[in-house]
Amino acid sequence: MTQRPYVIDEMISAKAIAARIETLSREITAEFKDTDKLVVVGLLRGSFVFIADLVRELDLPIEVDFIEASSYGDAQESSREVRILKDLRSAIEGRDVLVVEDIVDTGFTLNHVITLLQSRKPARLKTIALLDKPSRREVDIAADWIGFEIPDEFVVGYGVDFAQRNRNLPYIGKVRFTP
Ligand code: IMP
């Protein structure tokens, strides 16, 4: 399928993202200050840049793990039915866990992953999302920490893709289709 032409308008600069991560990391470090080892779980693939920057600001003993849920594929719409494509390597029973998501949109993905991980009885399970689109929500769920609330726009960059492109942009930009 050929992609309609589009341009990307910067929405959140790399500098603004870094500053926000510093603030959030201080809050997360305070929340988990007594942990023996926090399991930081990145939701593949969109969170890989965010988790890399976030963990380097956490002043805590941590381990990093990943889980992959089915996503949009090449479309711009959520599929609603979430499947786990790759599960965690670590057992999380009795452990402190922080789930790192790129965007909470309809909420189906985060809701599914949280329900699954809660069933494994972690000691504490918290969530962080870089971006939140509350106006798109279909499932009543909120992340414990949010980087930025954004309007209903399709965004790319900083790990987030459009049909597997633009993940390597250092900032968050919105996709604007051109005639
Ligand atoms: P949800 O299940 O509808 O909340 O969708 C969450 C997932 O959809 C995110 O982890 C992203 O991978 C993807 N997604 C949501 N909005 C966007 C967007 O604006 N650009 C790219 N991917 C998005």
Question: What is the fold, at CATH topology level, of the domain defined by 15-29+36-154?
Answer: Rossmann fold (3.40.50)
Sheet holding 96-104, edge to edge: 84-86, 62-69, 38-44, 96-104, 124-132, 145-149
Where are the domains positioned within the chain?
Answer: 15-29+36-154
User: Using CA atoms, how far apart are residues 138 and 106, in angstroms rounded to an integer?
Assistant: 5
pLDDT tens track for 129-155: 999 999 999 999 999 999 999 999 999
Q: Which atom of ligand 1 lies nearest, measured to the CA of 156?
A: 20
| Whether this model's pTM surpasses 0.85 | yes
pLDDT tens track for 1-44: 678 999 999 999 999 999 999 999 999 999 999 999 999 999 99
Pocket test for ligand 1, best of 76, 85, 105 (most atoms within 8 A of CB): 105
Q: How many CB atoms lie within 10 A of CB 85?
A: 11
Cis peptide before 45 (omega within 30 of 0): yes
